[in-house]
Copies of this chain bind each other. A is one copy, B any other.
Amino acid sequence: MIQLPATFPADQLDDFCVQVFRHYGVPGPDAKLAAGVLNLADVRGIDSHGVARLKTYVDMFKLGRINPKPNIRIIRDKKSVATVDGDNGLGLVVGPAANAIAIAKAREFGSGWVSVCNTNHYGIASYYSLEALKHEMIGWSMTNSTKLVAPLWGAERMLGTNPISIAFPGLTNPPIVIDLATSAAAYGKIEIAKRKGDAVPKGWIIDQRGKMSTAPDDMIDGGALLPLGSDRERGGHKGYALSAMVDILTAVLSGANWGPFAPPFALRQEIPARSVGKGIGHFFGAMEIDGFMDPTAFKKRIDEWIAVFRNTKPANAAMPVLIPGDPEHQEESIRRKNGVPLMESVVRDLSIIAGETGIPFIGA
């Protein structure tokens, strides 16, 4: 057995994903788009949403649960707004297509807003908000997802981790990139704690009776994540409301499955007994900066905002105040140069895919 390298060049991972998607029937340009979404997650250090997910997408293709050649179309629209049906295509293909519609509408009408049904996992929310920046726009992106989170005072999973992303361009600074799940913590962190045998902080999870817990198994075995804010005193009703907002804009408004009816993406997750629409939902927005303010003047103001907030008096001099997007930007500059580090389990998954498809994987 050969020694596996610790890191992989981003381009080679990208190429591998393109070929795998093509192998499962995705047309070349769509395969490139889809791989690009995963790759951005990998280079920005959002490891849970990059090639680590490729195996799940492949599983779905093998089961015929994703349409590799969707007819993505506008089913209703009025100037700056539209609803798009993703025809059960890969979320990584439907997402970029629907987001491009929002951007085209923004070019014509000053802003564009697209709610999407009949789609599935679309990767990192910030891929889409960052796309808008290439067109001198402010970008918005949201998606609903499989249930994991309890509404405040609830004792069962009713909402996904439903992320919100918005990005604003700087002039000399990298953009401000907001990308947050509306839960107090990510599900991945509960799994990591379980593997390590650690307790999780109070405020992350409840057990199946709705009681706060610090034992990962209490959440995993029929409990739930808590919304951002955790409990009533610290604003758990606000995290619940934000998650509800995402659920409604992405899924109620588009005709997708909302709340507890959002279909799962991973095979191990339970399929809801009831369907209230088609697939899951996304929501994209783009606003042309020029419609509000001279774009250069706006970017200068963003640069000034960044400078002022970076100079906030810190609680601890060793931990200065960050700008949203800082950690990902820093990671991107390292990984574009040094490559993407992958966990052994991810390399193993990619090697299995290589074996099944005959597509050579550099580490295999």
A contacts, CB < 8 Å to B: 76-83, 108-111, 113, 115, 138, 150-156, 158, 164, 166, 168, 176, 178, 180-185, 201, 203-204, 206, 209-211, 228-230, 233-235, 237-242, 244-245, 247-249, 252-255, 258-260, 276, 287-293, 298, 301-302, 304-305, 308-309, 312-316, 319-322, 324
Contacts and interface: CB of A to CB of B under 8 A. Distances in A.
Contacts of A164: 242
Contacts of A319: 153
Nearest to A324: B241
B80 A242 contact: no
A241 B240 CA distance: 17
A288 B180 CA distance: 27
5 contacts: A156-B312, A185-B233, A185-B234, A210-B314, A253-B289
A158 to B, nearest CB: 5
B313 A156 contact: yes
What is the oligomeric copy number? 2
A110 B110 contact: no
Contact of A80 (B110, B153, B230, B316): B110
A133 to B, nearest CB: 13
Contacts of A289: 253
A219 to B, nearest CB: 14
A184 B235 contact: yes
A239 B248 contact: no
Contacts of A110: 77-81, 109, 113
Contact of A83 (B156, B181, B292): B292
A292 B76 contact: yes
A248 to B, nearest CB: 6
Contacts of A322: 152-153, 237
Given A78-B291, A153-B314, 16 more contacts: A77-B110, A79-B108, A79-B109, A138-B249, A154-B312, A155-B312, A168-B248, A180-B241, A182-B238, A203-B234, A228-B229, A229-B229, A242-B242, A248-B302, A248-B305, A276-B304
